């Protein structure tokens, strides 16, 4: 690993000031992705600002929203009584990601900021527009079994690897970003970007901003939600396809449906059309199948990942079935 300067800070304000002072600096929280990237030479910041002592670890109910600080660890959130009771979908998504060791260190903000696990992004000998703009995309016609089927561009077909983020999108989360002019709040579904012509940009966080917390509105989905992750082994692997499903049911009628998919796009992929279709309908296998079909419009395979065109709708149907049965 190329050496770097290391600074520690205890307040968000001073963290931001340090970041703004030097554009070659990066925050480090858990570091579980950043240190890996630095070891592989994918990134080489000149300065690391350790923000682990900034007080942003809160998990609390304020009014009708649950606030989670950007530095709360994945395991602290997943195991928190409030989250398990009110937002079990988030807890399950977190438990489906990484390993117990990584979750003890990885933070909510870091989870959002983690980079794709595309092999071409990690291999510095290979072309990758995300790592080095303009160098090309090795995955387009290469090994692309793990890659995107929605919202792709001819510059990049990488997927965002997070499970947590898929659940946050399904749960209508908002994310609060702190910049030089104070806080701004955006819908979390608008935090990550599609690759388009700028695959080097994963999200809409500005270079002089930091994530401070996420806010999730309370909902009536706890009884009927499920996070279904399909992967190459039973545990501790990135998703081929994952679905976060939450249903608000009255008898068998769907009052509202919340659906997002992981492993299929450059960002957590919300299934808006399916949600709209299911609203007011009966929770039947037939309607679930129709919702899945609607979700697959404009899906496109790139060879090795063509199997996702079948796997994705099947996963949507199964996740909805499991969410319905859960009580």
Partner 1 sequence: MHSSDNKKNSGDSRRDFLKKSSLITAVALTPSVAMKAAESQADEKFAELFEKIPLNITVNNKAYKASIEPRVTLLDYLREELHLTGTKKGCDHGQCGACTVHVDGARINSCLSLAVMNEGKKITTIEGLAKGEELHPMQQAFIKHDGFQCGYCTSGQIMSAVACVREGHTNSRAEISEYMSGNICRCGAYPNIVDAIVEVKEGGMNV
Contact residues for partner 1 (CB under 8 A)? Answer: 1-6, 8, 28, 31-32, 35-36, 38-40, 44, 46, 48, 50, 52, 75, 98-102, 104-105, 234-236
Of the pair 102, 222, the CB lying nearest partner 1 is at 102
Residues paired with 241 in a beta bridge = 230
Of the pair 6, 307, the CB lying nearest partner 1 is at 6
Greatest Cα-to-Cα distance within the chain, rounded to the nearest angstrom: 61
Distance CA 130, CA 158 (A): 9
Those residues with Cβ within 8 angstroms of residue 214's Cβ, 6 or more apart along the chain or in another chain: 67, 68, 70, 108, 168, 173, 174, 175, 176, 188
Q: How far is the CB of 35 from partner 1 (least distance, A)?
A: 5
Of the pair 33, 152, the CB lying nearest partner 1 is at 33
Q: Is 306 exposed, middle or buried (0-12, 13-18, 19+ CB in 10 A)?
A: middle
Of the pair 120, 191, the CB lying nearest partner 1 is at 120
Distance CA 150, CA 256 (A): 24
Q: How far is the CB of 205 from partner 1 (least distance, A)?
A: 22
Q: How far is the CB of 19 from partner 1 (least distance, A)?
A: 17
Q: How far is the CB of 7 from partner 1 (least distance, A)?
A: 9
Q: How far is CA 69 from CA 76, 134, 185, 214, 223, in A?
A: 11, 36, 14, 7, 25
Of the pair 75, 152, the CB lying nearest partner 1 is at 75
Q: How far is the CB of 236 from partner 1 (least distance, A)?
A: 4
The tokens describing 177, both together, are 């970003």
Please tell me the number of Cα atoms within 13 Å of 227 on its side-chain side: 25
User: Scanning the structure block, which residue is given the tokens 């299934």?
Assistant: 271
Q: How far is the CB of 211 from partner 1 (least distance, A)?
A: 19
Of the pair 74, 219, the CB lying nearest partner 1 is at 74
Residues paired with 61 in a beta bridge = 66
Cβ-contact 159, 148 below 8 angstroms: yes
The tokens describing 54, both together, are 């900034």
Q: How far is the CB of 31 from partner 1 (least distance, A)?
A: 6
Of the pair 44, 133, the CB lying nearest partner 1 is at 44
Please tell me the number of Cα atoms within 13 Å of 43 on its side-chain side: 21
């Amino acid at each position: 690993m190329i050496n770097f300067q290391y600074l520690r800070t205890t307040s968000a304000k001073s963290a931001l000031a340090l970041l703004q002072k030097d554009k070659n600096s990066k925050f480090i929280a858990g570091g579980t992705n950043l240190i890996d990237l630095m070891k592989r030479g994918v990134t080489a910041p000149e300065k690391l600002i350790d923000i682990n002592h900034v007080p942003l670890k809160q998990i609390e109910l304020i009014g009708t929203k649950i606030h989670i600080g950007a530095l709360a660890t994945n395991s602290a959130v997943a195991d928190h009584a409030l989250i398990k009771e009110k937002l079990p979908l988030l807890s399950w998504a977190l438990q489906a990601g990484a390993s117990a060791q990584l979750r003890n260190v990885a933070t909510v903000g870091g989870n959002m900021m983690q980079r794709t696990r595309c092999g071409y992004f990690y291999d510095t000998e290979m072309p990758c527009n995300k790592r080095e703009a303009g160098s090309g995309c090795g995955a387009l016609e290469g090994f692309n079994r793990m890659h995107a089927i929605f919202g792709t561009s001819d510059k990049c077909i990488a997927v965002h690897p997070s499970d947590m983020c898929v659940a946050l999108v399904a749960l209508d989360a908002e994310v609060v970003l702190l910049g030089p002019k104070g806080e701004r709040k955006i819908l979390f579904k608008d935090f990550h970007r599609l690759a388009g012509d700028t695959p080097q940009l994963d999200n809409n966080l500005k270079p002089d901003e930091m994530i401070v917390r996420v806010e999730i509105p309370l909902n009536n989905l706890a009884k009927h939600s499920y996070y279904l992750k399909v992967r190459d082994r039973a545990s501790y692997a990135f998703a081929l396809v994952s679905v976060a499903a939450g249903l608000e049911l009255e008898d068998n009628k769907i009052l509202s449906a919340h659906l997002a998919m992981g492993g299929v796009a450059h960002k957590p992929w919300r299934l808006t059309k399916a949600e709209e279709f299911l609203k007011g309908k009966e929770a039947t296998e037939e309607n679930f199948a129709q919702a899945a079909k609607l979700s697959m419009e404009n899906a496109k395979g790139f060879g090795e990942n063509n199997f996702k065109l079948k796997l994705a709708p099947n996963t949507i149907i199964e996740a909805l079935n499991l969410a319905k049965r859960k009580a």
